[in-house]
Amino acid sequence: MLVSAKDMLVKAKAGKYAVGQFNINNLEWTKAALLTAQECNSPIILGVSEGAGKYMTGFKTVAAMVKAMIEELKITVPVALHLDHGTYDGCYKCIEAGFSSIMFDGSHYPIDENVAKTKELVEVCAKKGMSLEAEVGSIGGEEDGVIGKGECADPAECKQIADLGVTMLAAGIGNIHGKYPENWEGLSFETLDAIQKLTGDMPLVLHGGTGIPEDMIKKAISLGVAKINVNTECQLSFAAATRKYIEEGKDLAGKGFDPRKLLNPGFEAIKATIKEKMELFGSVGKA
Ligand code: 13P
């Protein structure tokens, strides 16, 4: 069922667990994510970056694929199709394409401009029954060309954006997209605690879910994180499983070069990673 992310996140925040956002790149990724969510009886958010949307030939293709797959695979758990780190223009393209949720990443604008643009999108999304994620304080590292310095968000600015009526709020707390460097200082729970105290019931979003130690994930959930984004970790497990298949020469044996065989270990690896994350985030059985 394609739905907005609102209900699943309100429930997650109240129930002290988090819903995973898993970014998709192609048909195999999408199928792996949807089937795992169904098997785990878990809600799921499919994240699509602007780069991945372009790679899949455009947001309309993505929306059509996801909707058809939900129907043909008989997926009954709640699924949100969500634009990840959207630009202002990208948000409107996804609204038109039939996404059920968008993220407007206005973190690089001065706060007043972030507020004005987010406010406008809150109204548009409300009319369409869509959920909206806003961002304050950029997430560090690079994702599909979106580069952030990784500063901690100002809790007062978070409140200002939360009060506009967004569905969920991503706040920088020292998290980074991609692998964490050896000298990473960890998440700033002080910042997270201050943000949650000012924003109350607002579901908070933790980007850069790859490589955050389990105890930090659990502590973040206890401090109001209700959505956790994972992208790189699925890419790494897909790549490792595919590498193993080829290094073992399996593509050269019989019809091992058949793409349905060649891509299968990677597909299964994505499924295993998503299942592991759903168990860690506590969303299993919460559909
Ligand atoms: P990772 O690639 O570090 O898992 O981050 C994903 C993310 O935050 C998507 O917005």
Range of the domain at 273: 6-281
Domain annotation covers residue 287: no
Considering its fold, how many domains does the chain have in total? Answer: 1
Question: Does 1 reside within a domain?
Answer: no
* 183, pLDDT greater than 90: no
Q: Which atom of ligand 1 is nearest to the CA of 139?
A: 8
* Domain-located, residue 207: yes
For range 116-137, the mean pLDDT: 96
Residues with Cβ within 8 Å of residue 124, at least 6 apart in sequence: 95
We report the CATH number of the domain holding residue 241 as 3.20.20.70
Task: Decide if 286 is inside a domain.
Answer: no
Mean pLDDT, residues 220-244:
98
pTM above 0.75, yes or no: yes
Residue 174 in domain: yes
pLDDT at 213: 96
d(CA 273, CA 20): 11
- Find the distance separating the first CA and the last CA of the chain, reported in whole Å: 11
Is position 257 within any domain?
yes
Q: Is 231 in the pocket of ligand 1 (CB under 6 A)?
A: yes
Residue 100 lies inside a defined structural domain of this protein: yes
Q: What pLDDT is attached to residue 139?
A: 72
CA 263 – ligand 1 centroid, Å: 23
Does the C-beta of 175 come closer than 6 Å to ligand 1?
A: no
**Is residue 245 a contact partner of residue 268, using CB atoms and an 8 Å limit?**
no
Distance 126 CA to ligand 1 centre (A): 26
State whether residue 46 is helix, strand or coil: strand
Q: Report whether residue 25 contacts ligand 1, using a CB cutoff of 6 Å.
A: no
Q: Which residues are catalytic?
A: 84
Q: Residue 270 domain-assigned?
A: yes
Residues forming a β-bridge with 83: 48, 102
Average the pLDDT over 46-69 and give the result. Answer: 98
- Choice from 229, 233, 236, 274 to test ligand 1 binding pocket (greatest atom count within 8 A of CB): 229
Q: What is the mean pLDDT of residues 158-163?
A: 95
Rounded CA separation 286/284 (Å): 5
